[in-house]
Amino acid sequence: MIRKFFAFRVFLLSAQLPLTVLAQSTQGSQGALDRTIVPALAKSSPFKLPVVERGSLANGVALQVIEHHALPLVHLTLVIDGGARLESGQPGLASFTARMLTEGAGSRDANALQGELGFLGANLGAAGGSETFTVQLNVAKQQLAPALDLLADVVLRPTFPSVNVKQQRDLRLSSILTRRDQPTQIAALAFSQLVLPAGYPGHNPSDGDSASTAALDSAAVRAFYERAFVPERAKFVVVGDVTETEMRALLAPRFGAWKHATAPLAILAVPAKPVANSAVKVYLADKPGAAQSVIIVGGPGADRTGPDYPAIVVMNTILGASFSSRLNTNLRETKGYTYGISSQFAWGPLPGPFAVSTSVRTNVTDSSLVEIFRELRDIRDRPVEQKELDRAKAYVALGVPGRFETNAGIAGQLTNLDLYGLPLSSTNGFVAKVNAVTLADVQRVAKQYIPAGSATLVIVGDLAKVRTGIEALKLGSITVLDVSTIAR
């Protein structure tokens, strides 16, 4: 199946609805249908945010439950603070440790464990991100209790068998090697390494590099696990066909006595925040024979918890986070240079980068850069139109209910806000703030957060064909990167 371009990453976090946005019409005559009349938005049922019930286990582990009884399914997320912030110099250790949790636990080896999960029709997976660990379980309610037994084994009694550690390490080394085949990955790795300072979340790829991966062994993983998977940093978020009381009764015997074995690892202080360049810097990486050039342009992003967040979301919707955005309208829908282009702020507890990314036909690489920089300057220097502003605000605000359809969607909203210490009810305030964003706000945040004269620019493509054109643009200093160093 082939999809029309669409996959925009969505940054909005939700909300209650403003009322009419689109009322271009009043109904015409009763006779022949006048097709030029754009239908007004109809009335619809009000959307209500789900209610969060809170509880805790004897050891203090917090529990948040959202009842959602549409289907007899339960979606559980265990979030543990830490993630890659605990790694201290061994990139990939956090995500590898999380990956190893399901490679043998309790009395079961990896096959027995995963065979049992498969038999229950349960999905259970663990991940280590830049700020947290997450363990997710998705299961039919009828199988919840036996699946929770397996979850408890995985979280509390992983075995880290040497043979499995070696297997997963070798698989990860293969996967690291194949990054070099993928221009989009090369560009993303280079961009993160260039924009984010060493030690900052996201500077290193979450699955590490080949040297750090080769050094992984069972002892190192176990030592890290014991000091990272600790109850004082853990909380459960459960969405589905259960109540808080039911869930607490199921979790208490399995997790209520969970204590840490050794003192938890300190969460590392962040050494330095990313800073903007003083001038544009261009980095090139060669992929001889590439049919397209992958382009990423960006810089340090913005603070998710700051007062500018709603205005930034609206501004970025106009710039590059919707199909009708300026970047996509220009480079795809007007020039035909690309299948799609988007811009995003990578939100996180610490500001992630802002980036415009696209793949363009090799022989329009330079022309594409001209247009991208034109749009970056334009959104800063000229007020957006009222129509654009209204559309972007409505798109953000009205799109909220759709994020509350599935258990995983609801859980995602809750856990994501929780990263910033925000309750689910803050969604309503967010929508109100979106609806209050003005033309002046958009221009102000564009000036503040969109790099034009200070951008970091990464281009991965066939340099023999594109380099001259890029140089002629005189955007800034040019450095050629080595692919095997970036994807190392």
Q: Which is nearer to other proteins, 38 or 263 (CB)?
A: 38
Return the CA Rg of the chain.
24
Q: Tell whether residue 110 is a contact of other proteins (CB under 8 A).
A: yes
Return the residue of 26, 30, 31, 42 that touches other proteins, per CB under 8 A. Answer: 42
CA distance 403 to 113: 32
Q: Name residue, tokens 């988007």.
A: 342
- Torsions phi, psi for 339 (to 5 deg): -80, -20
Q: How many CB atoms lie within 10 A of CB 438?
A: 13
Q: Which is nearer to other proteins, 27 or 262 (CB)?
A: 27
Minimum gap (Å) between residue 375 Cβ and other proteins: 16
Q: Tell whether residue 72 is a contact of other proteins (CB under 8 A).
A: yes
Q: Tell whether residue 30 is a contact of other proteins (CB under 8 A).
A: no
Q: Tell whether residue 401 is a contact of other proteins (CB under 8 A).
A: yes
Q: Tell whether residue 22 is a contact of other proteins (CB under 8 A).
A: yes
Q: Which is nearer to other proteins, 107 or 324 (CB)?
A: 324
* Residue 178 three-state SS: helix
Contacts to other proteins from residues 199-258, by CB under 8 A: none
**Segment contacting other proteins by CB under 8 A, of 204-212, 218-226, 400-408, 466-474:** 400-408
**Segment contacting other proteins by CB under 8 A, of 196-204, 221-229, 329-337, 423-431:** 329-337
Q: Tell whether residue 181 is a contact of other proteins (CB under 8 A).
A: yes
Minimum gap (Å) between residue 55 Cβ and other proteins: 25
Q: Tell whether residue 140 is a contact of other proteins (CB under 8 A).
A: yes
Instruction: Determine the Cα angle at 254 with ends 249 and 258, to 5°.
Output: 120
Q: How many CB atoms lie within 10 A of CB 303?
A: 18
Q: Measuring CA to CA, which residue among 359, 325, 86 is closest to residue 225?
A: 86
| Token pair in block for residue 196 | 């984010």
- Identify the burial level of 295 via C-beta atoms within 10 angstroms of its C-beta, where 0-12 means exposed, 13-18 middle and 19 or more buried: buried
Minimum gap (Å) between residue 454 Cβ and other proteins: 29
Q: Tell whether residue 71 is a contact of other proteins (CB under 8 A).
A: yes
Partner residues linked to 136 by β-bridges? 77, 125
Q: Which is nearer to other proteins, 181 or 232 (CB)?
A: 181
Contacts to other proteins from residues 257-316, by CB under 8 A: 287, 289-292
* Residue 382 three-state SS: coil
Look up residue 19 and give its DSSP letter: S
Contacts to other proteins from residues 366-395, by CB under 8 A: 390-392, 394-395
Q: Tell whether residue 477 is a contact of other proteins (CB under 8 A).
A: no
**Segment contacting other proteins by CB under 8 A, of 85-93, 109-117, 278-286, 370-378:** 109-117
Contacts to other proteins from residues 183-202, by CB under 8 A: 183
CB of 459 closer than 8 Å to CB of 285: yes
Question: How would you classify the pairing of strands 123-128 and 108-109?
Answer: unpaired
Q: Name residue, tokens 């329009």.
A: 364
Q: Tell whether residue 4 is a contact of other proteins (CB under 8 A).
A: yes
- Torsions phi, psi for 425 (to 5 deg): -65, -15
Contacts to other proteins from residues 151-170, by CB under 8 A: 163, 167, 170
Angle at which helix 162-178 crosses helix 93-100, to 10 degrees, equals: 130
CA distance 422 to 160: 35
Minimum gap (Å) between residue 153 Cβ and other proteins: 16
Q: Tell whether residue 99 is a contact of other proteins (CB under 8 A).
A: no
- Sheet harboring 354-361: ordered strands across? 338-345, 354-361, 292-299, 456-461, 281-286, 477-481
| Token pair in block for residue 255 | 């997790």
Return the residue of 53, 226, 308, 333 that touches other proteins, per CB under 8 A. Answer: 333
Minimum gap (Å) between residue 114 Cβ and other proteins: 5
Return the residue of 56, 59, 134, 142 that touches other proteins, per CB under 8 A. Answer: 142
Q: Tell whether residue 28 is a contact of other proteins (CB under 8 A).
A: no
